[in-house]
Structure 1
Amino acid sequence: MAGEDGPRATSGRGPGAARGARPAPAWGAVLAVAGGLVVVLLALAGRYGAHRDELYFVAAGHRPAWGYPDQPPLTPLLARLADEVAPGSVWALHVVPALVVGLLVVVAALTARELGGGRVEQVVTAVLVATGVVTLISGHMLSTTTTDTLFWALVVWLTLRTLRRDDPRGWVVVGLVAGVGLENKHLVAFLLVALAAGVLVVRETRYHARCGWAWLGAAVAVALWVPNLVWQARHGWPQLELAADIRDEYLTLGGRLEFVGLSLVLLNPVVTVVWVVGLVRLLRERSWAWARPVAWAYLGLVGLFLLTGGKAYYLAGLYPALVAAGVCALAATREPRRTARLAVIGALASLVALPAALPALPERTFADSPWAALGEDQAEMAGWGAFTQRVATLVDEHDAGLVLAGNYGEAGALEHARVLPDDVRVASGHNGFADWGPPPDDERAVVLTGYPVAPVWLRGCERLPGVDSGVDNEEAQYPVFVCAGPTEPWARLWPQVRRLAA
């Protein structure tokens, strides 16, 4: 029940829509939009290869734990599930993100409905979110960001649903979803704090802070987060060290300008106009006061991430709600046909970035095109076949017993490709792989990848040409070494091999 100073329901449509009544859900059209996106993503799911992060997640998923140095366990478990269903299949790995962003589109439409949007507003919101550049990129790559975006969008939608219905029991559901999201990425905690601050800032919603259900929801979220927090504590909080590494890299003038620039094109410039309208109307429209905490949460997080060196895509999960607000606000002042045109214009605006977002071009064509410089994630998906075959050939030629990879992507690629003999160990000192070492001592040769020069703790190293991956990515930049072996037992050397880096 609302407190004495709680708001009263009003009636109307659009930004002035009633808190007590919602339009009917446009299930058929919205599911058609989400399904169409999933079909496109599945059609392209097997092109190129897996991203280096995905390969690492598969390796981590096969070594289940409550945490890893760089993320909680949920995304690695999803990667393992895909690999168990179809071992070594890139297509199966990419089914998961395709389904995740399909659900994201549905949540965006439901958010528009909570804000009073009818069939047109729900469908237009779904199209604008589905064709956004960040959605397309996330839908082709299983990453913690892909699932984190969905959890943020779910938390925001459930928060709006709770505030609109004025039913405090909804906070328990918010806490439940947030708690699961915290087992995927810790950024959900920032969203919860920002939303709580927004609720306190807005007079019309402040009474929720005195509600026992809200505190129960917070307790549920923390309880679900505890297993990963315990793992982090027992391992010396490595995620804090990684966060500092990211901050040092991005907390520069160039990094902050990049944050602002990417925020304006994260979906596409046309959709940016829409969500800016939504943000402004959420802040100014009196009948949307109950939804205003979302706007304040967004502004607070923008300021926080600008000051702390965060990345623009951290906020991706808030944009579906801002887009929904913008579409509903614009629809309140124009004919339905004009509102529907937004969907067409927004979708067309994303086409220019399509080759950078999805593997729409042949691999070699992409490598030689301007899109390769813009589509860093796509570049990191290409060339793994050449890399793994090159390493397998060197292992065979030199009778090597160990491949020591300089980064988790290379180590994960070799495990995922299954091209090495069973008695050849793959190891790396990078992030989670470091916890799975050191390798056993072996008298055979060592193949070394991902190092610019041979380290002093390896002896008898022969430098060989690097891998011709066909794409200007990390694997194409380094030579390959074949070494006689370590200068000391691996267990003693391993602290020198270990490194934490984003």
Structure 2
Amino acid sequence: MTGTTTEPSTPTAQPLPQFAAGPVGLVLAGQALVLSLASPRYGFHRDELYFLAAGKRLDWGYVDQPPLTPLLARAGAAVFGDSPAGVRALATVAALVTVALVALVARELGGGRSAQTLAAGAAALSSFVLVVGHMLGTATFDLLVWVAIGLLAMRLLRTGDGRWWLPIGAVAGAGLANKWLLLMLLSALGIAVLVTGPRQVFRSAWLPAGVVIAAALAAPVVWWQAAHGWPLLTVASGISSDDGAENRVLFVPLQLVYLSPVLVPVWLAGMVRLWRDPRLRWARALVVAYFVVCVELLVLGGKPYYSIPLLVLLMAAGAEPTVRWLARGRRAARRGLAGGLAVIGTAMSVVVALPVLPPDGLDPVLAMNKEQGEQVGWPEFTATVAGVWRRIPAPQQATAVILTRNYGQAGAIERYGPELGLPQPYSGHMSYADWGPPPDSHTGPVVLVGATTMAGLGDCRVAAEHDNGLGLDNDEQGTVITLCDTVTQPWSQLWPQLRHFY
């Protein structure tokens, strides 16, 4: 990139193009239809089962996440039904709002009707937005928060009106109740504005008020984490140590594919436009912020998709030059090429992100999106566990325990087990460890899910191996279920050794 980084002139509020409500509304209607049709297919994702379990035990925090997503999972199930479609209704709403905000970002940067429509359509059909819009997860609302703060920051930088610090603070405070990755965005934007300007926004008297609002909203969540020994930092450290090397190696390639390879020229055009267009010098911070986040992730070993919301914003910036390119020269040829690439990109995104294939044909997709496979087979998995449970003589079932290796297994048994006569499961994984241990009076037998033996249990033998019946190589295919006759220590003494975060 070329150009200086001198302080831009004082921003002024310039008239913006009219919002393209009609065409953007059509994009949103199509997006709502596609996500609604996809929601009931397959079944719950393992994370959704965990969120439902956490939502039954509402608190100001959990070891691996703040409270917002479990709260929304509970609300979705209560309002729309305890089903994948019901729980995912709020994810669909979040995706719709996100795409509408992307169109507004394009408008904020001077994009007219065509640019706004292109930005909305590209976002709605990108792989990442489809993935997080299809399933309820922390990434769903994290994307919404990052795009919202990006839009508000653009408005602040463009107008110089310090009052925009207040909604920025409010959205940041709410966002920290969902995921602390937001701190990366806030730090990156702060560094970027210091580097590129306009720095005078930091001299606004409204900035401290925005900070106070954010701090007040985030305070209960921070207090909970501090009171429990900052487990979120422990989990983040584990991700870095376990997956950090792989994340660093794959970081650049995945930046090119997470939205869609077809959209790479669009967000690259957005970078070039923001850096070179003298009318948009106030928005250069968006480009620098992306690279700051990339550096942070490479240093920390974070997951490559954490930076994708900033690419969504840069894609919105690239919509206007893309529209201009389509209108120049051989328009028919350029539009034909763009249309063909759009069809290919859309087909790739839909197949990779949404449950459109039959479950037994998913294996080729799992290499690009393993989360597809994690939505298949949980009722059958629970039935396999129930088959082992029924081997326990009825008089012994009152003191028997189901103990799982991970929260997905426990969440599935908690959701589907009661109709099969299964009791509440236990697990030492993530926040399930806080919801145990079993009573000391439960001295065995133990149905051990996901392991062949464990310290504190005696006389164990493999009783079953789960087969989803589809040949689908997801995480639980081949999981062993072991039946152990006794517990050799009281659960209250054994439990601290069973807690694990990975």
Match of residue 229 from structure 2: 236
Q: Choose from 106, 131, 138 the match for 1:137.
A: 131
RMSD, aligned CA: 2.0
Match of residue 429 from structure 2: 430
Query: Which runs of structure 2 are paired with 1:41-440 in the superposition (5 Å)?
Result: 41-85=35-79, 88-203=82-197, 205-252=198-245, 254-332=246-324, 334-335=326-327, 342=338, 345-366=341-362, 369-398=363-392, 399=394, 400=397, 401-419=400-418, 424-440=423-439
Tell me, what secondary structure is at the counterpart of 2:482?
strand
Tell me, what secondary structure is at the counterpart of 2:429?
coil
Q: Is the 8 A contact 1:429 1:497 kept in 2?
A: yes
Distance 1:333 1:137 in 2: 29
1:449 aligns with 2:441: no
Tell me, what secondary structure is at the counterpart of 2:76?
helix
Residue deviations 1:168-205 (CA, integer Å, cap 9, x gap): 101110110111000000011111111111121124x1
Match of residue 484 from structure 1: 485
Residue deviations 1:237-278 (CA, integer Å, cap 9, x gap): 1111111111112332x4312111111111111211110111
Between the aligned residues of both structures, percent identity stands at 39
Distance 1:177 1:313 in 2: 21
Distance 1:335 1:159 in 2: 30
Q: Is the 8 A contact 2:382 2:413 kept in 1?
A: yes
Measured after TM superposition, the shift of residue 350 of structure 1 is 3.3
Q: TM-score, normalised by structure 1?
A: 0.92
Distance 1:280 1:370 in 2: 36
Q: Unmatched 5+ residue regions in structure 1?
A: 11-18
Letter in 2 for 1:200: L
Distance 2:92 2:450 in 1: 31
Match of residue 14 from structure 1: none
Tell me, what secondary structure is at the counterpart of 2:462?
strand
Distance 1:347 1:7 in 2: 42
Measured after TM superposition, the shift of residue 356 of structure 1 is 2.5
Distance 2:289 2:82 in 1: 41
Q: TM-score, normalised by structure 2?
A: 0.92
Residue deviations 1:78-136 (CA, integer Å, cap 9, x gap): 11112223554122122221221111110100000000011100000011111111111
Distance 2:25 2:232 in 1: 38
Match of residue 15 from structure 1: none
Q: Which moved more, 1:209-218 or 1:236-245?
A: 209-218
Measured after TM superposition, the shift of residue 334 of structure 1 is 4.9
Distance 2:335 2:169 in 1: 35
Q: Unmatched 5+ residue regions in structure 2?
A: 1-6
Q: Which moved more, 1:183-192 or 1:463-472?
A: 463-472
Q: Is the 8 A contact 2:35 2:92 kept in 1?
A: yes
Letter in 1 for 2:500: R
